[in-house]
């Protein structure tokens, strides 16, 4: 396993760039003591998951006066009334000196000062350690029970810190929001992992054997798209996302203009997995003599092994294409995330196409009737479109959801002839977005005996900024999207969805700034549609 460099921001990057007092949970600063010049706390309110260890609850900054050193004796916490003790296996307190970040994956540079169980009311944990002059950082974490209740919260507030012989630094506790528990929450990639500066572009699929398979852009040098040096990497989970395999590279970039990225995944009826992605030149740099190309990799063993990338560009567009119109197209790429196979066996993925030199994008459906061997192109679905997804409706209609490049209400269109021609484009008033890729999948279908007709759609639910990624639910085949919930309230962008074999939902999303953390969340439909009390 390669060393994970520069990953110490992992658990707190979503709290704040400056760390302290940037979101809910700051306590009033108490009056200074002889030794302590000041102190502040910050609460972490992102989701957590069953079985997670060392999940950050509170960050505590203590400033000591010059030349003063204190010996910690204990810390006293009170739990929120709604917090269930059975959901928490242990409370721990770590110290990182003047380092204002905590890597909960490796606990690098973190010293464990004390550990205890959560009590009914006040929890007093004995501590053993000294604080130095100047700024010091303490971290209160929780080990979440393997059987913790989905939707419950773990929330504690700080009341006091004991130090030296009989001295105590008192706090006035404020209500804690806490961390809501999901079935699973796992960080798959953070900036610096596996010798790469950044990661982006999530895709996820549930394989025939129930394993989860993700595809991700390993953006080695910077955050930018192709033609940068990018690899496509695969990770798998065989326990519903609780643990993940090491990354496997299926398309390795060889420098600027020789990379691969923007992967889409689809599982065929025979169990085979296809991964489609772009490569070589970039969308805006592509030209007839140096195209942005399209590739396919295949796996017949649930994502463990993959074929070498196969170039299908000439079937779609460019100088090698037999179609006289598409021969003149300038660039094309398939939207990352999900492709589908319909009940007729047709494989479909939506492409954003630059037809000329004006740098506008139009949407076309790329489809295959022989499991991805040969590919064809539909009539134009939208002029002025962008990244898009398709899903098959109960009556066989194909519904396409299209990114609004201008920001605002998301576009959609339908096809009643298996994706060849498309109806006039309309907009969903209840799906607002900042111009960002999202995902749309089938959760269940009545005629297939899997339940009601339910669709899911994920987007950043904000008309201006990439934040607040949410999952919406439709019960009327995409006419309206009345239910749903935010799954990342902070900075967040691309997302991908899948349905696990147990009927729960998996979301693979980009979270945080600067850079991106790639995070997997697992939750039930009941939780997603549950109204807040």
Mean pLDDT of 118-138: 95
| pLDDT tens-digit series, residues 424-463 | 999 999 999 999 999 999 999 998 888 899 999 999 999 9
Return contacts of 108-117, CB within 8 angstroms, 24+ apart. Answer: 108/8, 109/8, 110/139, 113/72, 113/138, 114/74, 114/75, 115/90, 115/91, 116/90, 116/91, 117/85, 117/88, 117/90, 117/91
How many angstroms separate the CA atoms of 59 and 14, rounded? 13
Mean pLDDT of 71-89: 96
pLDDT value of residue 174: 79
Strands 179-182 and 48-49: parallel
How many angstroms separate the CA atoms of 522 and 214, rounded? 14
For the chain, which domains are there?
36-182 (2.60.40.1290), 184-529 (2.120.10.10)
- Provide the whole-model pTM: 0.92
Query: Bigger pLDDT: 33 or 242?
Result: 242
Confidence class for position 63, pLDDT limits 50, 70, 90: very high
∠ CA 127-176-510, rounded to 5°: 100
Confidence class for position 32, pLDDT limits 50, 70, 90: low
Strands 156-163 and 167-170: antiparallel
Among 13-22, 171-180, 231-240, 504-513, the least confident range: 13-22
| pLDDT tens-digit series, residues 202-223 | 999 999 999 999 999 999 999 9
Confidence class for position 358, pLDDT limits 50, 70, 90: confident
pLDDT value of residue 133: 95
pLDDT value of residue 74: 97
Q: How far is CA 122 from CA 65, 89, 190, in A?
A: 29, 16, 35
């Amino acid at each position: 396993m390669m060393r994970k460099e520069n990953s110490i921001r992992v658990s707190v990057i979503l709290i704040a760039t400056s760390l302290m007092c940037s979101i809910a949970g700051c306590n009033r600063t108490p009056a200074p003591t002889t030794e302590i010049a000041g102190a502040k706390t910050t609460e972490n309110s992102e989701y957590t998951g069953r079985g997670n260890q060392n999940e950050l609850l509170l960050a505590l900054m203590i400033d000591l006066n010059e030349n003063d050193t204190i010996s910690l004796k204990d810390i006293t916490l009170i739990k929120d009334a709604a917090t269930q003790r059975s959901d928490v296996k242990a409370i721990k307190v770590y110290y990182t000196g003047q380092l204002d970040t905590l890597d909960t994956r490796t606990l690098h540079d973190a010293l464990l000062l004390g550990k205890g169980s959560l009590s009914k009311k006040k929890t007093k944990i004995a501590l053993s350690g000294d604080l130095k002059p100047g700024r010091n950082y303490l971290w209160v974490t929780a080990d979440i029970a393997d059987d913790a209740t989905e939707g419950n919260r773990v929330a504690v507030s700080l009341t006091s810190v004991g130090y030296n012989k009989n001295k105590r630094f008192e706090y006035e506790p404020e209500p804690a929001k806490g961390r809501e528990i999901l079935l699973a929450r796992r960080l798959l990639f953070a900036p610096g992992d596996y010798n790469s500066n950044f990661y982006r572009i999530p895709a996820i699929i549930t394989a025939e054997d129930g394993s989860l398979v993700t595809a991700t852009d390993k953006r080695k040098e910077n955050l930018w798209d192709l033609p940068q040096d990018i690899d496509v990497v695969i990770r798998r989970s065989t326990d519903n996302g609780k643990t993940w395999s090491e990354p496997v590279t299926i398309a390795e970039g060889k420098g600027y203009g020789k990379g691969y990225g923007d992967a889409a995944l689809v599982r065929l009826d025979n169990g085979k997995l296809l991964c489609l992605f772009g490569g070589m030149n970039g969308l805006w740099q592509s030209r007839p003599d140096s195209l942005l190309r399209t590739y396919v990799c295949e796996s017949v063993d649930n994502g463990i092994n993959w074929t070498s990338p196969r170039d299908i560009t000439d079937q779609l567009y460019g100088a090698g294409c037999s179609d006289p119109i598409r021969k003149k197209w300038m660039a094309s790429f398939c939207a990352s995330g999900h492709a589908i196979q319909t009940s007729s066996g047709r494989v479909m993925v939506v492409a954003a196409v630059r037809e000329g030199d004006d740098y506008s994008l139009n949407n076309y459906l790329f489809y295959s009737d022989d499991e991805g061997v040969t590919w064809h192109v539909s009539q134009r679905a939208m002029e002025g479109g962008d990244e898009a997804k398709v899903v098959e409706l109960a009556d066989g209609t194909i519904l396409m959801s299209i990114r609004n490049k201008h920001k605002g209400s998301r576009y959609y269109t339908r096809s009643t002839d298996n994706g060849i021609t498309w109806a006039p484009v309309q907009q969903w008033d209840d799906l607002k977005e900042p111009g960002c890729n999202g995902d749309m999948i089938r959760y269940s279908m009545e005629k297939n005996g899997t339940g009601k007709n339910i669709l899911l759609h994920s987007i950043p639910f904000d008309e201006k900024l990439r934040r607040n990624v949410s999952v919406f639910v439709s019960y009327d085949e995409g006419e309206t999207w009345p239910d749903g919930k935010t799954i990342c309230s902070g900075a967040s962008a691309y997302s991908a969805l899948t349905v696990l074999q147990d009927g729960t939902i998996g979301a693979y999303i980009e979270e945080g700034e600067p850079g991106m953390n790639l995070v997997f969340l697992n939750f039930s439909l009941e939780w997603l549609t549950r109204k807040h009390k």
